[in-house]
C-alpha cells in the first residue's frame, strides 16, 4: 500500500475525472491520499473531496505564491479567519498546507516579508488546532528553516518536494520533520535529491505525487496521475536497495504517523 502525502485532487485537471483516477490508483495499491489546498477556494474543494472519499484526507492553507490574495491580520477580513472557519466544518482536515516560502518567483523584499507573515500566521493556526504542516519551500531553505526553528510547530510536519542539500535535510530531520519525495527523485539530474533520500533515517521518508505536476520517469513532462506514485516508490526501493514491499509499508506507516491518521491497508 502507498500513501500519497501531497496531491492536488482538487485541481481541475484531475478533478474532472476523479472517480476514474482514484480507481486506477487503488488498482496500483495507492490507498491513501492527502489532498492539499493552495488558496481558500482550493482548500474548500479539498474538504469537499475528503468528505466524499473515505481514504482521502485534506490540508488547507495558502501557498506563498498566492500572496496577493492573502490578507494578513492587520488587514480587513483576514484570510486566517476564513481558514479557521473551514477547520470547524470537517474532521478530515489533517494538516495546514501548503504553506511556506517561495523566492523562485518573488525576489522583492516586500513580498518576501509578506510571505513570512503569511507563513507565521498559518503556523500559529496549525498549533491552535494541533495539526502538522505541509511545507512548500522553493529557493528559500534557510529562511524556511529559521522560521520553523523559532516558530515551532508542535506536531511538526512534512517538507513537500524537498530540494535542499543533505546538510539542510539533516537539520529538518533534527527539528522533527518528514521529507517527501516525488517524481523529481526519478529525474536523471536530481543528484542531490537522491543523496538526500539515502542520507536521512528511513522513518522520516514519505512519498508524494504533487499531481498534476512533476510526473516521474517514464512519464516526465506529462500530466501526473495519482497512480504514478508507484513508479517513484519503486525507483526509491531500487536506489536504496530495499525490498519494494517493505518500503511501501514503512513509508505508509510514516505517513499515518505524520498526519495522525489510522492505518488503512
Ligand atoms: Zn503542491
Q: Is residue 142 assigned to a domain?
A: yes
Q: Is residue 227 assigned to a domain?
A: yes
Q: Is residue 265 assigned to a domain?
A: no
Q: Is residue 264 assigned to a domain?
A: no
Range of the domain at 61: 2-259
Element (H, E) at 133: strand 133-138
Report CA(201)–ligand 1 centroid distance (Å).
24
Q: Is residue 255 assigned to a domain?
A: yes
pLDDT digits (tens, 9 = 90+) for 58-94: 999 999 999 999 999 999 899 999 999 999 999 999 9
Report CA(7)–ligand 1 centroid distance (Å).
6
Report CA(265)–ligand 1 centroid distance (Å).
25
Q: Is residue 190 assigned to a domain?
A: yes
Number of neighbours of residue 118 by Cβ within 10 angstroms: 24
The single residue listed with the C-alpha cell 506507516 is 253
Q: What pLDDT is attached to residue 245?
A: 97
Report CA(71)–ligand 1 centroid distance (Å).
21
Looking at the structure of the chain, the number of domains it has is 1
Give me the mean pLDDT over the 31-59 stretch.
97
pLDDT digits (tens, 9 = 90+) for 184-212: 999 999 999 999 999 999 999 999 999 99
3-state secondary structure 232-254: HHHHHHHHCCCCHHHHHHHHHHH
The CATH number of residue 72's host domain is: 3.20.20.140
Mean pLDDT of the chain: 96
Report CA(135)–ligand 1 centroid distance (Å).
9
Report CA(36)–ligand 1 centroid distance (Å).
7
Amino acid at each position: 500500500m502507498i500513501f500519497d502525502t501531497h496531491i492536488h485532487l482538487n485541481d481541475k485537471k484531475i478533478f474532472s475525472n476523479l472517480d476514474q483516477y482514484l480507481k486506477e490508483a487503488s488498482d496500483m495499491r495507492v490507498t491513501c491520499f492527502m489532498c492539499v489546498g493552495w488558496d481558500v477556494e482550493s482548500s474548500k474543494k479539498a474538504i469537499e473531496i475528503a468528505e466524499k472519499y473515505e481514504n482521502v484526507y485534506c490540508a488547507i492553507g495558502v501557498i506563498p505564491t498566492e500572496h496577493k490574495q492573502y490578507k494578513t491580520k492587520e488587514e480587513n477580513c483576514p484570510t486566517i479567519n476564513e481558514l479557521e472557519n473551514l477547520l470547524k466544518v470537517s474532521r478530515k482536515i489533517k494538516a495546514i498546507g501548503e504553506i511556506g516560502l517561495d523566492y523562485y518567483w518573488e525576489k522583492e523584499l516586500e513580498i518576501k516579508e509578506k510571505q513570512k507573515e503569511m507563513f507565521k500566521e498559518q503556523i500559529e493556526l496549525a498549533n491552535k488546532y494541533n495539526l502538522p504542516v505541509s511545507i512548500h519551500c522553493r529557493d528559500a531553505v534557510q529562511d524556511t528553516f529559521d522560521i520553523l526553528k523559532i516558530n515551532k510547530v508542535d506536531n511538526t510536519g512534512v517538507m513537500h518536494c524537498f530540494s535542499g542539500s543533505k546538510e539542510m535535510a539533516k537539520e529538518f530531520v533534527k527539528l522533527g520533520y518528514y521529507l517527501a519525495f516525488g517524481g523529481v527523485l526519478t529525474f536523471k539530474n536530481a543528484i542531490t535529491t537522491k543523496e538526500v533520500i539515502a542520507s536521512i533515517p528511513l522513518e522520516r521518508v514519505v512519498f508524494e505525487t504533487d499531481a498534476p505536476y512533476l510526473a516521474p520517469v517514464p512519464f516526465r513532462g506529462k500530466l501526473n496521475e495519482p497512480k504514478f506514485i508507484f513508479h517513484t516508490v519503486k525507483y526509491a526501493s531500487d536506489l536504496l536497495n530495499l525490498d519494494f514491499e517493505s518500503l511501501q509499508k514503512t513509508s505508509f506507516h510514516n505517513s499515518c504517523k505524520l498526519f495522525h491518521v489510522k492505518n488503512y491497508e
